[in-house]
Copies of this chain bind each other. A is one copy, B any other.
Amino acid sequence: MSDPSVGLALDAVRLEKLHRMFAAQPFMGLLGVVLVRADHGHCIMELPYRPDLSQQNGFFHGGVIGTLADNAGGFAGASVMPLDSGVLTVEYKLNIFAPADGDTLIAKGHVLKHGKTLVITRVDLFTRRDGHDKPVATALQTLMVMQPRPALAAS
């Protein structure tokens, strides 16, 4: 809770929007991802280890790491976008530099640049074992702000 990297608190309306958006992603439920916290421009997600999330060596699968990176970045970005907009992943690049073995996979996303159309985020990923966090991967991501369409907004 004392992580110095987190930003300013979100107001209740915005926080509720993010939690609703998260709950609306069935794939998060399949994996068991937890939206731990969201602040202005920051987001932390965690995923407890399960054997069916692993690759051939029993570590978190690379696809699981990519999923958590993409989503933690996406929600960090969504936290700074207009309330009535949606968020779209344009692209991301992920470097995995250590085996993702641990009890929990953690992704900390934060916004590097907030433009009107695009938002750039960085995500740092860790595995936790016995309370110790080990860096395992990092990602750089481009998001697009999806403006509500006038026709839809009017309905």
Contacts and interface: CB of A to CB of B under 8 A. Distances in A.
Number of copies: 4
Interface of A: 21, 24-27, 29-30, 51-56, 61-64, 66-68, 70-71, 74, 88-98, 112-113, 115, 117-118, 120, 122, 135, 138, 140, 142, 144
A55 B25 contact: yes
A56 B17 CA distance: 12
A138 B117 contact: no
A144 B115 CA distance: 12
A56 B18 CA distance: 12
A117 B117 contact: yes
A62 B54 contact: no
A21 to B, nearest CB: 6
A68 B61 CA distance: 11
Contacts of A54: 25-27
12 contacts: A27-B53, A27-B63, A30-B53, A61-B67, A63-B66, A63-B71, A64-B67, A90-B142, A91-B91, A91-B142, A95-B112, A112-B135
A27 B105 CA distance: 15
